[in-house]
Structure 1
Amino acid sequence: MPIPLYQAKADLFRTLGHPIRIRILELLQQGPLAVRELAAAVEVESSTMSQHLGVLRMAGVVSAKRDGGSVIYALSAGEVAELLGAARRLLTEVIADQSGLLAELRQPPYESPPG
């Protein structure tokens, strides 16, 4: 029995649901990078980086190719960058709405007329 689409989407979002993985994808938007370059940029051990890259690769979000002694990773499709952009736009709207509410909360409370 095939996996329902909603389950596949949930699995994808679970895969993306780690800050290190999001940072990896953000870095790869600028072009392919080796594991050691990614590990240095994210400031994690190479073994930790490799684990996260493996999860992203199994999900089909990144691709890998060997270049001499290095493995170079890249985004598997432009849609990954589009998804990250959509998340950024959504967060911008959410935060703007929250800041509007915060500004409203900071105003002096309404005082009823005497009487």
Structure 2
Amino acid sequence: MNHELGQFKSDFFKALAHPLRIKILELLAEGDKNVNEIQTIVGSEGSAVSQQLTILRAKNIVVGTKEGNRVVYSLRDPMIAELLQVARQIFNNHLVDTITMLDKFNTADIEK
């Protein structure tokens, strides 16, 4: 893997490495939204949402389109929604594995 591609991947995943940014991306995967809509849904202050959107825009993960006096945000690439879905599936798989491991551990303790 060349250095530029490695750096791009690293920067991309760093941009995703914040719970509020993930929540914003999950919302935008459902459809375009403006800052006020995002703020209302996530229950966060507008400044926090705007700050996270700025980071996502800087990394070309979301785009903002001016509509009247509002900016409507959308995912730059619809595959980001797929990436989030795959990440959720990986998390669920790990969760199932952890639950299975704990069940085996608890069963072993009961049998002692």
TM (norm. structure 1) is 0.89
Shift in Å, 1:93:
0.9
Deviations 1:37-85 (A, max 9, x none): 0011111111111110010011111110111111100011111001101
Q: Which residues of structure 1 form unaligned runs of 5+?
A: none
Shift in Å, 1:108:
3.4
C-alpha distance in structure 1 between counterparts of 2:46 and 2:93, whole Å? 35
The answer on 1:97 being equivalent to 2:78 is no
Match of 1:20 in 2: 20
The answer on 1:30 being equivalent to 2:22 is no
Match of 2:74 in 1: 74
Partner letter of residue 35 of structure 1? V
C-alpha distance in structure 2 between counterparts of 1:57 and 1:3, whole Å? 23
C-alpha distance in structure 2 between counterparts of 1:37 and 1:70, whole Å? 11
The change in CA–CA distance for 1:36 and 1:3 in structure 2 (over 3 A counts) is: farther
> What secondary structure does 1:101 align onto?
helix
Partner letter of residue 75 of structure 2? L
> What secondary structure does 1:108 align onto?
helix
Q: Quote the RMSD (CA, aligned, Å).
A: 1.5
C-alpha distance in structure 2 between counterparts of 1:108 and 1:82, whole Å? 39
Partner letter of residue 105 of structure 1? F
C-alpha distance in structure 2 between counterparts of 1:88 and 1:27, whole Å? 14
Query: Where is the helix percentage greater, Structure 1 or Structure 2?
Result: 2
Shift in Å, 1:3:
4.9
Higher-Rg structure is 1
The answer on 1:108 being equivalent to 2:108 is yes
Q: When the two structures are aligned, how many residues end up with a matched partner?
A: 110
Q: Which residues of structure 2 form unaligned runs of 5+?
A: none
C-alpha distance in structure 2 between counterparts of 1:67 and 1:4, whole Å? 35
TM (norm. structure 2) is 0.91
Shift in Å, 1:105:
0.7
Taking only the aligned residue pairs, the percentage that are identical comes to 35
